[in-house]
Structure 1
Amino acid sequence: MTPLVFIAVLAAAIMHASWNALIKIRTDRFASITLTTLGMTVCSLPVLPFVPMPGLAAWPWIIASLVIHIGYRLYLVRAYEVGDMAQTYPLARGTAPLLTTVGGIVLVAEVPAPLALVGILLLSAGTFLMSLRGGGDIGKLNGKAVSYALLTSLFIASYTLCDGIGARLASTPVSYAAWMFVCDGLFATTIGFAYRGRRLMTTLAKEWQVGFVTGFLSAAAYGIVMWAMTKAPIATVASLRETSILFAMAISVFALGEKMTGWRGAAALSIVVGMIALRMS
């Protein structure tokens, strides 16, 4: 992985942690995630006149990604409803790179180098440890929370592979990202209004500024990731993206006043060593 790709993905991870922190403090996470996708559409629309239409080969992957993203948001929200976000989120994110690695080997024949595989395992281990923060443990989560978190990780791995392959087949990664974000936002917002109706409109009127900010950060972060997956192995980029957990921890400790525990320190160390391994691979 080149220094440019490495730094770009780390910047994307910081953006990802930032918009998730904004979502975390909202009371209605379903509405907030829907507004974020709408914000991604608004931010992407001005880009469309300046990028080519994705080629025909990319559209099946865009359509598949749209469907998978709906499942991802549905099970993510359900995991938050029945379990502690601080545990279910890292559990979902920590499993996804491992699934993406397997999918990358099967679908695009990308076998990670030994050092990269070590980095992927360390990053995943770090995110799992992060779910133990505050003295809790995965075993204390109820079965529904664990199952929803693991299903969420399957959706994360699936849309990551779809978008990594689709971005490689498109005219440019930027064109793929822009068109996918516009379609995804319109699709998700339509479903959101069908599900919530006037209540979602009320939330939109109150929190449209937050939706725009989270949408911009989400679009920029994932757009960078899709570009990076055209320059480096999908599994390596997907794993490095999960360093967002490390930055989210820093935000929670230094900005939200949460406690720095021994588990958090061990998780951070594992993630940092994993980052170094990926950079050296």
Structure 2
Amino acid sequence: MPAAAIAIVLIAAAAHAVWNTVSKYKRGDTVVFVWAYSAASALLFVPIGIVVMVVGNDTLSGHLAIGAVVSAVLHVAYSLSLQAGYDASELGVVYPVARGIGPVLTMVAAIVLLGEHLTAAAVIGALVVVAGIMVGTGNPFGGNKNQPARGVAWGMTTGIAIASYTLWDSYCVTTLHLSPFTYYAATMLLEALILTPGALRRRSEIAPVLRDNTAPIATIAVLSPIAYILVLVAMQHAPVALVAPLRESSIVIGSLLAWRLFGESHLPRRIVGAAVVLTGIAAISF
């Protein structure tokens, strides 16, 4: 895997970890919060996407429309399944399962369905990255977990959604040759539109959420699209079967930030998990 692609994915992972950490400061209704930063992202990036389209002599096409519609539906399904999991169980149950199973499913599907060919070292490295993620986040059934079985079920559902949108987006930017920036700008616009009816049903919550979450919404609106656009760019230069697990190294970064900012425990385990992830990244790079 090219060193430049690895660097791009790791930068994306760091941005992903930061915006997920910022989201923990959220106050108020979750659906309205997600809609707010999705709409803000669309307002920021759709005009830039239009400029990129004009400068790059791209045109609106059926491929772009279909690709963005399917991607938006899959991303919304991911967001809703993730939130349903958090409502049913603890973050420490849902998150590691979703982020662990997602890249594994992506890797298997990329090899079987997309015909990607990987070296043995790359496959081992990808699996080591996933193992490091699981080490860093801990045992979802351990400790004083709330409804672990339901959390694992929702985590698996979320992981399937992650694998689905990752594979579809890879197909769109590699096989259909859609511009990552224009493609994801269109996807963000459609995501915001899909979430708008749910936000309007909670219209009384909109003003308080915007007032109490101005900084988190602005931060996520910028960093979340940048993180994923970088991933789409990396997919154009490296197999999605390797990009997917590398992207999930954000979990280790996020867990270290959670320890530092929120006083979460198990620092030694988090450090060991980070070391395992780095070992896997080294294997992939060779």
Question: CA separation of 1:159/1:135 partners in 2, compared to 1, >3 Å: closer, same or farther?
Answer: closer
1:189-204 equivalent positions in 2, closer than 5 A: 190-204=196-210
What is the distance in 2 between the residues matched to 1:59 and 1:45? 14
- Change over 3 Å in CA distance of 1:191–1:170 after alignment to 2: farther
Q: Using the TM superposition, give the Cα deviation of residue 23 of structure 1 relative to its aligned residue in structure 2, in angstroms.
A: 1.2
2:90 and 2:211 map into 1 onto residues whose CA distance is 28
User: Residue 48 of structure 1 contacts residue 175 of structure 1 at CA under 8 Å; is this kept in 2?
Assistant: yes
Question: CA-to-partner distance for each residue in 1:132-161, whole Å, 9 max, x for gaps?
Answer: 279936987532111111100000110111
SS at match of 1:108: coil
User: Which residue number in structure 1 is paired with residue 36 of structure 2?
Assistant: 35
Distance 1:88 1:132, change over 3 A: same
- The answer to whether the Cα contact below 8 Å between 1:161 and 1:234 also exists between their aligned partners in 2 is yes
Q: Contact between 1:54 and 1:175, CA under 8 Å: does it hold in 2?
A: no
Aligned to 1:86: 92
- Which residue number in structure 1 is paired with residue 189 of structure 2? 182
Query: Where do residues 36-185 of structure 1 align in structure 2 (5 Å cutoff)?
Result: 36-52=37-53, 53=59, 55-132=61-138, 136=142, 141-168=147-174, 169-185=176-192
What is the distance in 1 between the residues matched to 2:156 and 2:280?
A: 22
Identity of aligned residues (%): 29
Q: CA deviation at 1:223?
A: 0.5
82-91 vs 28-37, greater mean Cα deviation:
28-37
**Is contact 1:12–1:241 with CA below 8 Å preserved after alignment?**
yes
Distance 2:257 2:278 in 1: 16
CA distance, structure 2, for counterparts of residue 250 and residue 119 of structure 1: 22
Is contact 2:26-2:216 (8 Å) kept? no
Moved more, 86-95 or 253-262: 253-262
Give 2:56's aligned residue. Answer: none
8 A contact 1:99–1:154 mirrored in 2: yes
Secondary structure, in 3 states, of the residue corresponding to 2:237? Answer: coil
Contact 1:61–1:166 at 8 Å: present in 2 too?
A: yes
Q: Deviations over 1:86-128 (max 9, x none)?
A: 3321211011001101221233211322111111111111222
1:42 match: secondary structure: helix
Aligned residue identity for 2:14: I
Contact map agreement 2:72 2:188 (CA 8 A) in 1: no
User: 1:171: Cα distance to partner?
Assistant: 4.0
Q: TM-score, normalised by structure 2?
A: 0.89
2:277 maps to 1:274: no
What letter is aligned with 1:235?
A
Residues 167 and 173, structure 1, Cα contact 8 Å, conserved in 2: yes
Contact 1:123 1:274 (C-alpha < 8 Å) held by counterparts = yes
The AA in structure 2 aligned to 1:4 is A
Indicate if the aligned counterparts of 1:55 and 1:170 stay in contact, CA closer than 8 A: no
- Structure 2 CA distance for aligned equivalents of residues 235 and 54 of structure 1: 29
Rounded Cα–Cα distance in structure 1 between residues aligned with 2:126 and 2:48: 33
Residues 173 and 270 of structure 1: CA distance in aligned 2, closer, same or farther (over 3 Å): same
Q: Distance in 2 between matches of 1:134 and 1:100?
A: 21
Unmatched 5+ stretches in structure 1: none
Q: Which residue of 2 aligns with 1:18?
A: 18
> Aligned equivalents of 2:170 and 2:64: distance in 1?
10
Classify 1:195/1:123 alpha carbon distance in 2 versus 1 (closer, same or farther; 3 Å). Answer: farther
Name the amino acid aligned to 2:30. R
